[in-house]
Structure 1
Amino acid sequence: MDSGFFSLFLPITLAIMMMGLGLELTFKDFLKVLRYPKVIFIALFSQLVILTSLAFLICLVLNLPPLLAVGLMLLSASPGGPTANLFSYLNKGDVALNITLTAFNTVISLFTLPFIINLSLHYFLADQSSISLPPEKIMQVFLITIIPVMIGMLVRAKLPQLSISAHHTMRLLSVSFLCILFTFAIFRERFNLIEYFASVGTATVLLCFSSLFIGYCLPLMMKIPERMVRACTFEIGIHNTAIAMTIAISVLDNVTIAIPAGIYSIVMYVFATIFGWMISRQKVNYRPNRHLPNL
């Protein structure tokens, strides 16, 4: 396996899986989500403010080397992505909410990512240069996420029986895909795992667990319906590590800054799987709480 797998096979496979998610969605699902702006605000606030603040605190407490600290800040500021949608789908979360949050967060990251990265460079490296986020990388997220979902929704609208029959098959394919992706991530970094974990493993584990924990508990405390809580959990807990690594290597031209995202891409699959199994044991509330008319 080489970089060709990551650059070609991964986006295509993610797009196919996203089309499978679209087979279970209708336009009405998105209209329901937009009636709950409180959920969107909680998720985005957690992602953009709480997690980046937490990552900064972790950098200070663990006294991370400057380049790794910048990498952790870059990771924390990266939006969610298609993998978060897949985990939500497998654990009976509100996929329409996930896709909506991914779209919102990706657009917002055009402004927040450069801002947070520049602040991190100034603080940890005293670097006075400024960067901008490559728009083609953001566009790639939309192409992988939005268009395949729309195709799946169109198939459901035109061929409902086909979408119903393909439901279990697509779910099985999604599980298989995540297993393959995790195996590939391990294989790709097999020679550097010990060194990477020794340098930034504790920080990424803390950030990953905290992201999932905050993503679940905060919406739950705000009395958000269970399916939306699950969607928030994975949207907040699973970052788009591909974007983080691309910025570190292509824009900042520094492999060391990409290390936290590389480790996180392995850690998040383990923690998200365990966390998903734990919350899946809870009974899903498929109907919004009647006491939430003002959400």
Structure 2
Amino acid sequence: MDFLINVGLPVSLAIIMLSLGIGLEIADFRRVLTRKYPFAIGALCQVVLLPIAAFATVKLLGLPPEIAVGFMLLSFCPGGVTSNILTKFAKGDVALSVSLTAVISILSILTVPILAAWTIAHFMGEDAPEVSITGLAIAMFLITTLPVAIGISVRRFATGFANRIEGGLSKLAGALFLLIVIAAVAGNWQLFIENLGIMGTGLVSLNIALLLIGLGVSRAANLSWAECKSISIDTGIQNSTLGLTLAALITGTETGFSTLALPSAVYGVTMYVVVFPFLLWFRKR
């Protein structure tokens, strides 16, 4: 189990972020300057409204402290490659989705450690583990930002090679993630069973709320329908592998996966069930 957490989890996340970087170009970052308004609306939904909705959910449901922290850690995670793929399937604005994922994933090395430290102190109080914001930021840089930068460089200087390995990287990352989710749930099976009802209800409710918040805010901002679909999906889909990794970085690996990892593990499965009807609706419009 420790090998899976110490090696498998960070490797899986690094592969996911590498596959994200390989799908990116410098133009995806430059596009933010030419599409400031849609990007600002998407960033508002992801960086501000998403954590607020998660905080309201855990307070409303009265979740146990560690489960509540797990919810919040998940809410701090950017969308990742999955949101880009689902946006393409929904016939949304893929370019906007990619730009949001690229920039917010890079910014997360600054936002996530600070927000994670505050969340743990707020919900766990005296039982909170000590969190090094600097250490967490360095770890996130090494397993998220650095692989993205390497992927972008590969795309820039070896485009043909990037095209050949992109699909295989995504499949490998998906297989590793599935293994990690199974291990996280199995390692906390009793807690999983005890909290499945309220945790499942909270995750599904939050997921639906986020999809609707992204859609509602972007519609109110008079964005195009394609842009609205993209922002809805990017707000409602989080990188649950990063949530699992954050839980491991914060609590250590002496006792396997911690309770903090459960929401991300369960969400990694339920998000597809929740988003599927939205995708069908989006695709038809």
Change (3 A) 1:75 1:88: same
Q: Secondary structure at the match of 1:92?
A: coil
Q: Which moved more, 1:106-115 or 1:256-265?
A: 106-115
For the Cα contact (< 8 Å) 1:118–1:130, is it kept in 2? yes
For the Cα contact (< 8 Å) 1:196–1:263, is it kept in 2? no
Change (3 A) 1:91 1:151: farther
Aligned to 1:292: none
Distance 1:151 1:14 in 2: 13
**Distance apart, 1:194 and its partner CA:** 4.2
Aligned to 2:132: 131
**Distance apart, 1:27 and its partner CA:** 6.2
Matched, 1:215 2:214: yes
Q: What amino acid sits opposite 1:122 in the alignment? A: A
Structure with the larger RCO, 1 or 2 (CA within 8 Å, 6+ apart): 2
Equivalent residues in 2 for 1:225-264 (5 A)?
Answer: 225-253=224-252, 255-264=258-267
Q: What amino acid sits opposite 1:137 in the alignment? A: M
**Distance apart, 1:83 and its partner CA:** 1.8
Q: Which moved more, 1:178-187 or 1:100-109?
A: 178-187
Aligned to 1:274: 277
Distance 2:157 2:276 in 1: 30
Change (3 A) 1:8 1:224: same
Backbone CA RMSD of aligned residues: 3.7
**Distance apart, 1:84 and its partner CA:** 1.6
Change (3 A) 1:207 1:92: same
How high is the sequence identity, in percent, across the aligned residues?
A: 25
Q: What are structure 2's unaligned runs of at least 5 residues?
A: none
Aligned to 2:110: 111
Change (3 A) 1:135 1:232: farther
Q: What amino acid sits opposite 1:98 in the alignment? A: S
Matched, 1:204 2:194: no
Change (3 A) 1:31 1:247: closer
Distance 1:154 1:49 in 2: 36
Q: Which moved more, 1:124-133 or 1:210-219?
A: 124-133
Distance 2:266 2:110 in 1: 25
Matched, 1:75 2:78: no
Q: What amino acid sits opposite 2:232 in the alignment? A: T
**Distance apart, 1:147 and its partner CA:** 4.6
Change (3 A) 1:239 1:69: same
Distance 2:198 2:273 in 1: 19
Aligned to 2:97: 98
Q: Secondary structure at the match of 1:224?
A: coil
Q: Secondary structure at the match of 2:100?
A: helix
Change (3 A) 1:155 1:277: farther
Change (3 A) 1:204 1:120: same
Change (3 A) 1:32 1:126: closer
**Distance apart, 1:33 and its partner CA:** 4.3
Change (3 A) 1:227 1:155: farther
**Distance apart, 1:138 and its partner CA:** 3.6
Change (3 A) 1:66 1:205: same
For the Cα contact (< 8 Å) 1:97–1:231, is it kept in 2? yes
Aligned to 1:65: 64
Q: What are structure 1's unaligned runs of at least 5 residues?
A: 283-295
Q: Secondary structure at the match of 1:126?
A: helix
Deviations 1:74-98 (A, max 9, x none): 1112222122222223323333322
> How many pairs does the alignment contain?
270
Change (3 A) 1:44 1:181: same
For the Cα contact (< 8 Å) 2:106–2:145, is it kept in 1? no
Distance 1:225 1:177 in 2: 35
Q: Which moved more, 1:59-68 or 1:97-106?
A: 97-106
Distance 2:66 2:16 in 1: 32
Change (3 A) 1:110 1:186: closer
